[in-house]
Amino acid sequence: MSWSDEPVSSDIEQIQKVLRASQRLPRHVAAIMDGNGRWAEVRSMPRFEGHRAGMESVRSVVKACSQVGIEYLTLYAFSIENWKRPAPEVRFLMSLLESYLRKELDELHANNVRIRTIGKTNALPRGVEKILQKAIDRTAANDGLTLTLALSYGARWDIQRAMQVIALDVRRGKLSPEDLTEQTISEYLQTSYMPDPDLIIRTSGEIRLSNFLLWEAAYAELYVTDMLWPDFRDKDLYNALLEYTQRERRFGKTSAQVDQGKRSPQTTMERLRNALK
Ligand code: IPE
Ligand code: IPE
Ligand code: MG
């Protein structure tokens, strides 16, 4: 089903319109989807129920990004450190991922979403790896939202891997140490196909990156909310985007030197954000 045919409330529709027309929208949004366990614990449920509920948020946020024309969405779904969790939780997360891809692939494809992945994916169970590859291959030619799932991902792991390949290429004579630039390093990372993240959202109130996109996040705007991931839905994403459009990104320059296009007046912003409550 095409998402554009689905009915939305008039408030959401109006906000989508404002965001689509904004010249200050991020190209790349990344999210650290945290707080599933706590969401379940406060409801006296087992942790895995939190992960299950979190999948609804994934659906909602992917669709919301696609509908306002975000080009890249990167979701931190499973870190390389998360392998240290109890085996039953890891197994549950893997089966959830597999069923998400199986269930959603047709709809994602129908909505022009291109699926990619970053991380040590050969560590994933066979079933997950296979469906992931199928999703990547099937959606490769889509030119709508690029949805990247960070799975078994760690930024330090990726940097270490890239350094190893760089060293090997120097040894093979493919690269000379004098030519090594920041750009070269970016090109050797698994994230080379995407622009750096403009906005990184983290739910559950933790103010840290937890080994996510360390190189790429150099100038990302950070947005931390106390909401737990399973409660975070389309309107909360739009709230974050509205806040982002009001930020001034200086990249080391002075305020007078940067001109990032017109911001919406504060009153409009307040009205829109109130409509999201
Ligand atoms: C995020 O939620 C999901 C993954 C890390 C896979 P958590 O499972 O970390 O939830 P909390 O932080 O324990 O509440
Ligand atoms: C970060 O969450 C990883 C993901 C959301 C996939 P964690 O819950 O694993 O992070 P820490 O351990 O609290 O830093
Ligand atoms: Mg956590």
User: What band does 276 get if pLDDT is binned at 50, 70 and 90?
Assistant: confident
Closest CA to 86 of 123, 48, 58, 44: 48
Smallest CA-to-CA distance from 135 within 146, 122, 123 is with 146
Summarised one tens digit per residue, pLDDT across range 252-267 is: 999 999 976 677 888 8
47 Cα nearest atom in ligand 1: 8
Q: Identify the band that residue 91 occupies on the pLDDT scale cut at 50, 70 and 90.
A: very high
CATH number of the domain residue 131 falls in: 3.40.1180.10
Mutation pick for ligand 1 pocket among 32, 38, 43 (CB with most ligand atoms within 8 Å): 38
For residue 95, pLDDT over 90 is answered with yes
- From the CA of 90, how far away is ligand 1's center (Å)? 11
The answer to whether 24 and 73 have CB atoms below 8 angstroms apart is no
The residues near 78 (Cβ < 8 Å, ≥ 6 apart) are 93, 97, 119, 150, 151, 152, 153
Q: Which domain holds residue 185?
A: 3-250+259-275
pLDDT for position 65? 98
pLDDT, residue 273, reads: 86
Question: What is the average per-residue pLDDT within 239-253?
Answer: 96
Beta bridge partners of 31: 75, 201
Ligand 1 lined by 210 (C-beta under 6 Å): no
Q: How far is the CA of 33 from the centre of ligand 3 (A)?
A: 8
Task: Enumerate residues with CB within 5 Å of ligand 3 (an ion).
Answer: 34
Residues 227 and 34: beta-carbon distance below 8 Å: no
The pLDDT of 172-189, averaged and rounded, is 98
Residue nearest to atom 10 of ligand 2 (CA): 210
Q: Enumerate the active-site residues.
A: 34, 82
Give the tens place of pLDDT for each residue, 31-67. 999 999 999 999 999 999 999 999 999 999 999 999 9
AA letter at 184: T
Mean pLDDT of the chain: 96
β-partners of residue 133 are none
Burial of 251 (0-12, 13-18, 19+ CB in 10 A): exposed
- What does the pLDDT average to over 237-251? 96
Return the pLDDT at 5: 87
Of the two residues 176 and 262, the one the predictor is more confident about is: 176
Task: Give me the amino acid identity at 248.
Answer: E
Give the pLDDT score at 267.
86
Within the chain, residue ranges assigned H as helices are 10-21, 36-41, 47-68, 87-110, 126-139, 155-171, 182-188, 234-246, 266-275
Contact assessment for residue 126 and residue 97, using Cβ atoms and an 8 Å cutoff? no
101 lines ligand 2 (CB under 6 A): no
Q: What is the mean pLDDT of residues 119-141?
A: 98
Ligand 2 pocket, mutate which of 76, 79, 200, 209 (most atoms under 8 A from CB): 79
Number of domains composing the chain = 1
Mutate to test the pocket of ligand 1, among 82, 204, 229 (most ligand atoms within 8 A of CB): 204
Å from CA of 56 to ligand 3 middle: 17
pLDDT at 260: 64
Q: What is the pLDDT, as a whole number, of residue 261? A: 67
Rounded to an integer, the average pLDDT of 166-170 is 98
Determine the pLDDT at residue 268: 86
**Helices and strands, counts by H and E, the chain:** 9, 6
Supply the residue whose CA is at minimum distance from atom 12 of ligand 2. Answer: 210
pLDDT tens by residue, 182-227: 999 999 999 999 999 999 999 999 999 999 999 999 999 999 999 9
**Residues whose CB falls within 8 Å of the CB of residue 274, separated by 6 or more in sequence, listed in order:** none
Strand order in the sheet with 114-118: 114-118, 146-153, 72-79, 28-32, 199-202, 221-224
Protein residue with its CA nearest to atom 3 in ligand 1: 34
Ligand 1 near 272 CB (within 6 A) = no
- For residue 92, which amino acid is it? F
